[in-house]
Amino acid sequence: MSTRAATYEAEVLSRTPLSEHLVRLVLGGPGLADFTSTGVPDEWVGLLVPGQFQSRYYTVRSWDPVAGALVLDVVVHDVGLVTEWAKGDCVGDVVVVSAPKGSFAMPADAAWLMLVGDLTALPAMARIAEVTGVPTRAWAEVPDDVVALAGYLPGRLEVDWLEQPGDGVSRLADVVTDLVWPEGDGYFWMAGESAQMRAIRKHLMRERGLPGTAYDVMGYWRETTGRQPRAVDPGPVYRAGKRAGKSDEEIWADYDEARG
C-alpha cells in the first residue's frame, strides 16, 4: 500500500483581490474530483505552484463538492514562492494541492470560543466561526484597510480589528496577554507568526494554567531575516505527535522546531 499522501492537480479558475494583501483563488477542474474535505474547519492543504518544488500551506476557505470549487485566500506579502506567483496573473495555471488535514478540536462542552490571528489566519477564523455555535469573539491583526475586510468574518461575530504595526512585526502576543477572559470553560484558537505563537503557548500554560485540550495555537509562518523558512508539512508532525500522546500545543511547538 502506498504511504504517499494523495495529491490533486487543479486549475486556477479565478483570482479576486479581497483587500490590498489578500487574494482569493478559486481552484477547480477534473483533477479535484476525488478531493474530500476533512470537515475540520481549520483544515489546510499544501499548495505547489508552477515552477516550484516546495509547497506552502493554505487553509481551505471553502470546498464545494458539487461545483468542484476549492477556495484558498492567499496573503500577498513581499517575497516568497507563492506570494510572488499569486501577485501575478495566475488564472489558468495548474497547481497541485495535497489532501487536507485539520487540527481544530473544540471540546463539545465549550461555552465560548476565542479566535485570534493575523491575516494568514483569517480564512480559518472565518470558516471556524461559520460552523461553530457558541458565543465567539475574534481579534484580527491586519495590515489592510479594515473596511475592505469588514465583511470577511461572519456578521454575528464580535471582532476587534487590530492595525498591524508599521514595522510589520506582530503584536498579537501582547494583545493576548492583556485579554479579559470569559467565565467558564471555552476554547482558544490562534494562528500567526511563529515567535508570537510560542510566546502565547507559554502564557496559556504558565500564567493561565490551561490544559492542552482548551487551546490550539499554531505558527503559520516564520519571520526571517534573509533565510527562507523550511516548508514542513504540519500533517506528519501532527500525526506523530498524536501517536506519541502529545497535546496539540506540544505538537505545534515541535512543528516550529522542525522548521528550524
Ligand X SMILES: Cc1cc2nc3c(=O)[nH]c(=O)nc-3n(C[C@H](O)[C@H](O)[C@H](O)COP(=O)(O)OP(=O)(O)OC[C@H]3O[C@@H](n4cnc5c(N)ncnc54)[C@H](O)[C@@H]3O)c2cc1C
Binding site for ligand X (CB under 6 A): 44, 56-59, 73-75, 77, 79-83, 120, 123, 220-224, 228-229, 234
The DSSP bridge partners found for residue 219 are 192
In angstroms, give the least distance from the CB of 253 to ligand X: 14
In angstroms, give the least distance from the CB of 180 to ligand X: 28
Separation of alpha carbons 93 and 132, rounded Å: 34
Sheet containing 7-19, strands listed edge to edge, beginning at the edge strand earlier in sequence: 56-59, 44-48, 94-98, 7-19, 22-28, 69-75, 62-64
In angstroms, give the least distance from the CB of 229 to ligand X: 5
Residue 103: count other Cβ atoms within 10 Å of its Cβ. Answer: 23
Q: Which residue has the cell 461559520?
A: 130
* Residue (214 or 237) nearer to ligand X, CB: 237
List of residues 6+ apart from 185 with CB closer than 8 A: 107, 109, 110, 111, 214
In angstroms, give the least distance from the CB of 158 to ligand X: 22
Q: Name the closest residue to ligand X (Cβ).
A: 80
* Residue (103 or 132) nearer to ligand X, CB: 103
Q: Which of 128, 191, 123, 200 is nearest to 157 (CA)?
A: 128
Separation of alpha carbons 254 and 40, rounded Å: 21
In angstroms, give the least distance from the CB of 236 to ligand X: 13
